[in-house]
Structure formats: structure tokens, C-alpha cells
Structure 1
Amino acid sequence: MFPEITRDDVFRLETERLWLRWPRAADADEIRQHVGDPDVALMTASIPHPYAPHDADAFIASVREENGAGGGLHLVITPKNRPNEPIGLVSLHGADRRGAATFGFWLGKPYWGQGYTTEAARALIDLAFGITSLDRIVSSARPDNRSSLHVHEKLGFHRTGRGMRPAPARGGEMEVELFELKRGEAHTLFGARRPRFFSP
């Protein structure tokens, strides 16, 4: 799905306030601290709670492998003035033959309400529609997760319904609002321009 330029761990995206980069082994403690908060983990389908010490290491290894294979792109969110401190993550993964990929994200609780998720997601979505053949991006959020619903709306996603989705970390399924974003409909940060991306 993603081309060669994103498949090297020196790849990064720049926004006004943030650097988005590959997760590293050294990020494990920060990731564990943020997603170990039940207010973060329990709003997702895939983050276990409690979050065991080895969970962050396994997660980082898994997403680095997917990034390297080009099957997805998982980028930690870091403030520009603290590029070694991840505060969240945005990702696209699971592209299918119909040209759709799945969008996901989480943000550490101390950073809620400051627009970081929307800023990071716009850069990733701009990149995806600019350098891949994806036609649409799908996503979901719990109906009671007002912050996530608002992020989807700000990004230009359209609600397509409500349904049940597998939630392995929650022990079964969870009810979610379903969303879709088609190429050309995103409320992007950069307008017609592609985001700046860096890779030596």
C-alpha cells in the first residue's frame, strides 16, 4: 500500500506543532504510560487493560514490521520541541482490494483537547491520498466517545451507520459508529498541497 519512501524508519512528517515518526523501542515506556490509562485504553478495541510491560514492546515490533513491509503506516505523534517523547499515535492499515484502509489513533490524556490528533491525522491522510492508490479510508468510534466522533467530523469523515465490530481487547465485540472518507473529501491541513515529508 505505502511506497518505498515510507518504509524506512527515518521517515517522518512535519506539521505546525508536531513530528510524526516511526515508533522506536525506546518509546516503550512512554507508550505504556499513556495507553495504560483506562480512559485511553477502554475507548479502543485493541489496546488491552491492564497493559502489561511486554505489550508495548510487542506492539512496537509489530507496527515496525508492518511499516517496513508497506502494508500500513503507524506513526507516533511527538511535539516538535520533544521529538523523543511520543504522546499518541495515528495509523492507516489493513488495505483491501477495494482500495480502502482503516484509520486508527490514540492520544495520551494529558494532551486531550489541544487539537493534536486532528493535526496529526490530517497530515497522515494527506500523505496517504497523495502517494498511495487508496480510494477511501474507513474508521469507527464508540458512540459515547465524543472526542473521537468530533475528530472524525473535523477530518471530513461521513457517518455510514452503526454496527458491531470485533474488540479483542474488550473480550468480544463493541458497538461503534462507522465512518468513511473518500478521496477528495478530506478536510486537509494543506489544501491542494501534499504534506512535507522527510527521508534522507
Structure 2
Amino acid sequence: MKLSYVNGKLIEAVYDTVPCFITERLILRPWHMEDVEDLFKYAKDPDIGLSAGWKPHKDVEESMEVIENVFMKPGVYAIVYKETNEVIGSIGLHAGSKKSRGLGSDENQAEIGYWIAKPYWGRGLIPEAAKELVDFGFLELGLNRIWIAYFDGNHKSKRVAEKLGFTYSHFAENVVVEALGETKKEHYMVLNKDEFDEAIKLKYRPLLAQRS
């Protein structure tokens, strides 16, 4: 991975020609197989996977399979904590129609999914990471709306969506969670492009007023 600095501050990261996202505390970059030890270290914790709809990883081999078959797909990023250069979670922007899940048939939409290691809960890191994908989706990909879904009882995921300006849309009963072999109630929150645009205007309105 190529890193670029200005005055000691990391301003750009490129991994295998794929641009990465840089925040105050994080780097979002594609997954690679060398991340397997970090992944297994945290994915074996049942408190992580069960709330997100997957079973704890039982061994390093399972973590390797997940990286190769799930995480190395386009739009999925490893969440790297700058201070330690450790992978502490995953986040993805999955574009395309969500009609099969009752989220509409508009192709210009996407869903953000994420998880983060338990020692890093409560630090605001997922909102920090997800904001980069929200901005990218609306400003670069031309999306009309972005969804965040969470299973009943996952209040942390709901709070992330609220911090990002998403509003509650609806829920679905008896959603099949294949990895767990059970069904769950799933809730859906949404952010539309016009709401995103209005939030941007509100953010810069005081600055524009000073210049007028």
C-alpha cells in the first residue's frame, strides 16, 4: 500500500491501484489475506457476529475463507486503526436493487453494512468510517438513496444510522438469516439524496453567510 504524507499528516492511501478512504483515526482499504490473524482475533467473539447475523469464527481457516469469498469483493473495506495499523472491523457499500428485501427497485441505491471489534465499541469509529462511504455514494457514485439494516435488538447499529442522518423506514418479520439457521426481525433506515444535499447546505450555510 502506498501512503502519501504532507507535513506529517496522512492525506492519501492507494492499495493495488484502488483508492482508500482516510479519516482522522482510520484507513479504509481492501482486504487481503495477510489480515487473517486480525480478523480471527476479533471475529471469534460471539458478541460481534451474532448481532450481525453470522456465527463466531471457529478457527483461522474459517477466517481465511471469509476474507477470500466475502471480504475481497468490490465495495468491501477493512477498517484499519491508524494508531496500531491493526484491522479492527469491516465496512461495505453494496450497490444495486434491493427489491427482494422490500427496499425498492431503484438501481441507483446501495446498502452499508459494518461491524467493529468489541474493544473499539463506543468510540464513534463506525460513524467516522461510514460517513466516508455515504459521501462517496452520493457524490461520486450518483446514488439516490442509501440503506442501513439491522436486526431487532441491535441498538448500536441503529444509533450509527441515526448519527449519520438516516431515518426509520420500515421493518420485516421472519427474515431468514442463513448463517445462523434462523429468522429475525430486521429494521431498515434510509437516507435520500435530497436529505443529504440539505444537510450539506446546512453545514456550510453559516460559512456562506459570513462571505456574503
Distance 2:89 2:17 in 1: 17
Listed as ranges, the matches of 1:14-163 within 5 Å are 14-45=22-53, 47-63=54-70, 65-67=72-74, 73-83=75-85, 85-96=86-97, 98=106, 99-163=108-172
Q: Structure 1: give runs of 5+ residues left out of the alignment.
A: 1-5, 68-72, 193-200
- By how many angstroms is 1:50 displaced? 4.6
Match of 2:208 in 1: none
TM-score (ref. length: structure 1): 0.79
CA contact (8 A) 1:11 1:22 kept: no
CA contact (8 A) 1:140 1:179 kept: yes
- By how many angstroms is 1:139 displaced? 2.1
Q: Structure 2: give runs of 5+ residues left out of the alignment.
A: 1-13, 98-104, 205-212
- By how many angstroms is 1:41 displaced? 0.6
| Counterpart amino acid of residue 171 in structure 1 | G
- After alignment, is 178-187 or 102-111 more displaced? 178-187
Count matched residues.
178
| Counterpart amino acid of residue 164 in structure 2 | L
Return the index of the structure with the highest Cα Rg: 2
Work out which structure has the larger RCO, using CA pairs closer than 8 Å and 6 or more positions apart in sequence: 1
Q: Percent identity?
A: 29
Higher strand proportion: 2
CA contact (8 A) 2:176 2:183 kept: yes
Distance 2:189 2:47 in 1: 22
| Counterpart amino acid of residue 174 in structure 1 | K
* Alignment RMSD: 2.3
Distance 2:147 2:179 in 1: 20
CA contact (8 A) 1:9 1:22 kept: no
Deviations for 1:21-63, whole angstroms, at most 9, x for unmatched residues? 1111111111112121111111012x22354432222222234
